A = this chain, B = another copy of it.
């Protein structure tokens, strides 16, 4: 059996997230990929993803792997899958053969997410699928100042969706940048792992700060509180994109 690693790009608008659901009939990225792989290989393949992105969330660099006996040369895999069954909103960008033990989820070290806000009095017909539309002018300087307080290793329990379960809520944020380009405001964040909804809660909190409802320094108190209610609202999914995993 070979172990193949793929890098995927997808527009998540029409999918109920990466991971296949117990509920039958809802399209997922994993489901589409497994369906096409089964058609090519005749095998019942299970695809493992580095990140279980939510419904409506996009990816430019989702890493997946799967085991197969498919004898295709690895450089032919993207073309075979892209033009041989995948819908146009899911694209295989790269493929490589990796060691048998490689596991996209467990081996994922650092991940980079980008959250995009469309900040203008007038919305955009082209960005509404890929951003959170915020009509109130945001103070991006204050947001950048606040974002810097997230850097380092902290207990991020306050930035985790209520009801989520994971062994530890301690994570390390290596890099975070708030950038503005016309009406587009992006929060790019790299870390060694993210709690459920963590990036969207960070984005929602930074927007409260950008509106002047909260001071930038409040980030430190929110982290210390370990209380989800101290942080801002969860930003909507369509602004989120997994850049690298």
Q: How many residues of A contact B (CB 8 A)?
A: 22
Contact A122–B89 (Cβ < 8 Å): no
| A175 lies within 8 A of chain B by Cβ | no
Contact A88–B128 (Cβ < 8 Å): yes
Contact B126–A11 (Cβ < 8 Å): yes
Residue in contact with A125 in the complex, picked from B10, B79, B122, B133, CB distance below 8 Å: B10
The smallest beta-carbon distance between A62 and chain B, in angstroms, is 11
Contact B125–A11 (Cβ < 8 Å): yes
Contact B126–A130 (Cβ < 8 Å): yes
Interface residues of A in 32-87 (CB under 8 A from B): 58, 78-79, 82
| A212 lies within 8 A of chain B by Cβ | no
The smallest beta-carbon distance between A217 and chain B, in angstroms, is 33
Tell me which residues across on chain B come within 8 A of A93, comparing CB atoms.
122
Residue in contact with A122 in the complex, picked from B10, B82, B130, CB distance below 8 Å: B82
| A153 lies within 8 A of chain B by Cβ | no
Tell me which residues across on chain B come within 8 A of A124, comparing CB atoms.
9, 91
Tell me which residues across on chain B come within 8 A of A121, comparing CB atoms.
79
Max chain B Cβ within 10 angstroms of own Cβ: one of A58, A78, A91: A91
- Give the interface of A toward B (CB within 8 A): 9-11, 58, 78-79, 82, 88-93, 121-126, 128, 130, 133
